[in-house]
Amino acid sequence: MTDAARRDELAVSLAEVRERIVRACVAAGREPDAVTLVAVTKTYPVSDVVLLAGLGVTDVGENRDQEAGPKIEAARAAGATPRCHFIGQLQRNKAKSVAGYADVIETVDSVRLVTALDRAAADRPEPLGVLVQVSIDGDVARGGAVEDDLWRISDAVAATTTLRLGGVMAVAPREWDPDRAFEQLAVRSAGLVERHPVATAISAGMSGDLEAAVRHGATHVRIGTSLLGMRNLLR
């Protein structure tokens, strides 16, 4: 496919996704621009990041350091400077690398990772944004903080000068009704905001459930498939 054809294809799906977000905001009685679209570009080439940035996308999401580092660097070299959200499980030994190019880490779920990121972000000109990933069903194998860990982790982030606590992130458990999942996330977010008033961000909602997320106060939705197409699972 030529760049121009891909650009047209992305422009159409971007308009559709933006329309879904606006409609969901209006239905929820929220401002139409209350929600930031994070375009999840994982498995897609740097050319798509550049095209999306050209179409006005301000934020992209990536989930693997080996893929994201070179891709974001190449996009920036090509003049595209979207904010980069790291949305994959992050091992502590990758903290230094990710802190070198990401603007926000959405998947912070342990104090040990906070300690590693604090060290990794020491030479950054600006603090590294952090969202605490919350486990909605308590299945920690898939990542995310349970119960009191949210307090321990958020207090640890707030105590640093290198990290900036932004709020919470979650993925709705597959077997759950997304409304029920995001309702619980909203409760956890309200508790966090009471303790840390600046931490108002709620990253929730993907291609299949963005409407439910917006109904329950999402400030960021992370959209891959609806924007870029089905990912090849073999990649």
Ligand X SMILES: *Cc1c(COP(=O)(O)O)cnc(C)c1O
Instruction: Report the interface residues with ligand X, using CB under 6 A.
Output: 40, 42, 63, 87, 171, 206-208, 222-226
Q: Which of 97, 93, 94, 165 is nearest to 133 (CA)?
A: 165
Closest to ligand X by CB, 104 vs 223, is 223
CB of 133 to ligand X, least distance (A): 9
CB 201 within 8 A of CB 222: no
Closest to ligand X by CB, 41 vs 160, is 41
Closest to ligand X by CB, 217 vs 224, is 224
CB of 122 to ligand X, least distance (A): 27
User: Please, is 135 exposed, middle or buried when counting C-beta atoms within 10 Å of its C-beta (0-12, 13-18, 19+)?
Assistant: buried
Instruction: Please tell me the distance from the alpha carbon of residue 148 to that of residue 174, in angstroms, as a whole number.
Output: 24
Instruction: Please tell me the distance from the alpha carbon of residue 135 to that of residue 119, in angstroms, as a whole number.
Output: 25
Closest to ligand X by CB, 150 vs 160, is 150
Q: Which of 158, 166, 49 is nearest to 105 (CA)?
A: 166
CB of 116 to ligand X, least distance (A): 20
Q: For ligand X, which residue has the nearest CB? A: 224
Instruction: Please tell me the distance from the alpha carbon of residue 188 to that of residue 44, in angstroms, as a whole number.
Output: 33
CB of 194 to ligand X, least distance (A): 26
Instruction: Please tell me the distance from the alpha carbon of residue 53 to that of residue 16, in angstroms, as a whole number.
Output: 16
Closest to ligand X by CB, 107 vs 154, is 107
CA distances (Å), origin 100, targets 104, 106, 128, 137, 175: 11, 15, 10, 32, 36
CB of 210 to ligand X, least distance (A): 8
Closest to ligand X by CB, 144 vs 217, is 144
Could you tell me the two tokens for 78? 């090509």
CB of 197 to ligand X, least distance (A): 26
